[in-house]
Amino acid sequence: MAAVAAPTFELNVTEAAATEIKKFLATEDDLPETAGLRVRVVPGGCSGFQYSLNIEEDSRAGDMIVDKFGIKLFVDMFSVQYLNGITVDHTTNMMGSGFTFENPNATGGCGCGTSFSA
């Protein structure tokens, strides 16, 4: 019987985003070594889905775990289908600063940049 390969999943984080994520993690008290950032997609926003970033103490059963720049990123199985190949960046401009998402799976978006359709 041939072994079944695990699905491939790629999530990219720019160095600028990693720096900001590390700053957020550093502000949390008593985070265990297992802590990381949950990157997920939730229903909502003006285009159907929106991105969500949360600091969590540990991964959950079934999560894909990606390590980038020494940061653990947790992605649940629902979100994997929408986040495969995504790039998370952090930008600063005249309107402020924040995380941006370049998603090759999105079929549409909106002006706010945090909502998409797939």
Q: What is the pLDDT of residues 32-82, one digit of tens each?
A: 999 999 999 988 767 678 889 999 999 999 999 999 999 999 999 999 988
pTM above 0.85, yes or no: no
Domain 11-25+33-113: homologous superfamily in CATH: HesB-like domain (2.60.300.12)
The yes-or-no verdict on residue 112 having pLDDT over 70 is no
**pLDDT bracket for residue 117 (50, 70, 90):** low
The reported pLDDT for the residue numbered 43 is 84
Round to whole Å and give the CA distance between 90 and 13. 9
Contact 9, 66 (CB under 8 A): yes
CA 47, CA 60: separation in Å to the nearest integer? 28
Indicate the domain borders of the chain: 11-25+33-113
State the average pLDDT over residues 1-24: 82
Handedness of CA 48, 16, 21, 87 (dihedral sign): positive
